[in-house]
Amino acid sequence: MVDSDDDMNLLSTLREEEDNNILIQDPKPKEGDELKTNHYHLQSINTALLLRQLPSQGLSFQLWPAANTLVSLLDHNPSKLLFPDPSTPAAAKLRILELGSGTGLVGIAAAAVLGARVTLTDLPHVLPNLRFNAQSNASAIASNGGEIEVRQLRWGEEEDMDGLNAFDVVMASDVVYYDHLFEPLLRTVEVFVKGEVGFVMAHLRRWKKRDAVFFRKARKLFDVVVLHNDAPLPGSRIGVVVYRFTAKKAKKR
């Protein structure tokens, strides 16, 4: 079920990419792409982020609604995501892993606002633009003590996951797209979400049945709670929802 014209356009794009099996090895900007940039002013630290998009290269090079929701919460109300108040000195730097980082907006904002050590990850062909955006915002990130690392992480691939260290929280936005990636995504989350580590995921429902399949699988592995609901987007009946996944607690006998 598609809830708006924008979602219909996205659905068409997704199917076209899936059908054509698009794989871009070297995402060099095409004419006009380098001019498609977005400025995000983070009020909490009075800093602007600059993000480059390359729409002609595919979905991973564009910004989507769920990312905006997470950035807004990080900026105005991080405690709603169960993050510590950035104004309170922490004993240790928060370690964050972002899955499917895309343009890197969420992870870069988390590093800048929370002063966190953030590892941005995505597929190999996405990394050059991801690094470009991280480097473009290096001063904003460093001003509050944040740190950024960019790494390859193909969901479900042990060789990629083995090289990553322990994290305090895992984040992602708009990653529930293709049903054939549900299992790899959930296997990846399982590796990192253990004990008190949570997976904070912002999601805009686009396909009712497909999304139901994903959450049915997820709830077999994790306890899933809703942290935040956005108001519906213009022309839509639904808004972005932010969830927190945690490892299932052993039942007491």
176-223 tens-digit pLDDT = 988 999 999 999 999 999 999 999 999 998 888 999 999 999 999 999
Percentage of the chain modeled with pLDDT above 90: 70
- Which one-letter amino acid corresponds to residue 145? G
pLDDT at residue 219 in the model: 97
pLDDT band at 19 (very low <50, low <70, confident <90, very high): very low
pLDDT of residue 33 exceeding 60, the answer is: no
CA distances from 202 to 24, 131, 170, 243 (A): 26, 22, 12, 6
Give which of 117, 98, 115, 99 is closest to 107, Cα–Cα. 98
pLDDT at residue 23 in the model: 29
Lowest mean pLDDT among 141-145, 158-162, 247-251: 247-251
Strands 95-98 and 47-52: unpaired
Give the tokens for residue 234: 């213009």
pLDDT at residue 89 in the model: 66
Give which of 115, 194, 192 is closest to 153, Cα–Cα. 192
Q: What domains are defined for the chain?
A: 5-17+37-247 (3.40.50.150)
Lowest mean pLDDT among 17-21, 95-99, 110-114, 123-127: 17-21
Q: Are 218 and 245 in contact (CB under 8 A)?
A: yes
Give which of 103, 50, 107, 43 is closest to 77, Cα–Cα. 43
Helix pair angle (65-76, 105-114), 10° resolution: 0
pLDDT of residue 15 exceeding 50, the answer is: no
pLDDT at residue 37 in the model: 82
Q: Are 185 and 213 in contact (CB under 8 A)?
A: no
Average of per-residue pLDDT across 22-36:
47
